[in-house]
Amino acid sequence: MRTTRPFAQVDVFTALPYLGNPLAVVLDGAGLSDAGMQAFARWTNLSETTFLLPPSAEAQAQGADYRVRIFTPGGELPFAGHPTLGSCHAWLEAGGTPRATDTIVQECQAGLIRIQLQSSDGSARLAFGAPPLKRSNPSPKLLAQVAAALGLKPAHIIAAQHLDNGPQWLGLLLDSPQTVLQVQPDHNALKDLGQKVGLVAVDSAGAAPVLIARGNREARAFGARSADATLADTAPDAEQPALEVRAFAAPLGINEDPVTGSLNASLAQWLIADGYAPSDYIAAQGSCIGREGRVHIHQDAAGQVWVGGSSVTCIRGQVTL
């Protein structure tokens, strides 16, 4: 039997409506079948649709405030970044009260995700603790196939990693933001490869000379600084995006995702750990599709990477499911 349920559509990783990544949130998913959730996610045709539920007894005993299930038009995800922040935003706005004073705890298929309320320059934003990352080197064959599908030459690629924090991506660190922005993928080729790809580059005004020098000895002639320079010596303006990111997910039916929290989380863990990026930075995403997503990255003293951003509710209402 269908019933009326509270619903919100939230724009994530932006403080201005319609410039981030939209998320559909069903605030009461109790009693819905898997098939019903999937059918509604297919109907919204957004990159993700979430359904909020009470936490399981086991998760509640560990401090969980609510449970979320995350669906793309093609299937369920164990974890995703912008649905985590957008769902938490909608839950708080609808009157949700965290059990702890400083942290919201979300249950999802990937486990328990901690979310903090952060403030900066008078603005508030949520940030999730990046889940553990598994990463490995891609095969030369796959890397060559993906590069061909993206129209990239080997010299454009500084480093590459398979990244897995629930969602799996092939992450490519490129030589410049301009290269990232100029890529015109063959989405059918990526779909045939079954490969989601995340591109990232560091702004040349920041740490890029260090990155190029570390990643490609032949590029030393183009850098004004030694490869031994510290990231602190070349840190970008904290108020400006230091990285440019793009995400291609043709195997999921999404040619280009506007702003991708899970990808930014895994990129941050990789790039910070390997010395390619500073421990605090802002990433821009969505530039090529008319969005202005901003992802705030912070690594705390314990080594935990936090992925933050603003959210704004664009639609409030009810849905019959």
Q: Catalytic: 93?
A: no
Strands (E) located in the chain: 4-12, 21-26, 49-53, 66-72, 75-77, 103-108, 111-120, 123-129, 134-136, 157-164, 168-174, 197-202, 243-249, 254-257, 280-285, 293-299, 305-309, 311-320
- Strand-pair category, 75-77 with 123-129: unpaired
Catalytic residue among 48, 107, 244, 256: 48
With beta carbons less than 8 A apart as the criterion, state whether 76 and 40 touch.
no
Helix (H) or strand (E) holding 37, with range, is: helix 34-44
Round to whole Å and give the CA distance between 51 and 68: 6
The string of DSSP letters for 123-183 reads EEEEEEEPPP-EEEPPPHHHHHHHHHHHT--GGGEEEEEEEESSSEEEEEEES-HHHHHH-
Nearest-Å Rg of the Cα atoms of the chain is 20
Query: Annotated catalytic sites, by residue?
Result: 48
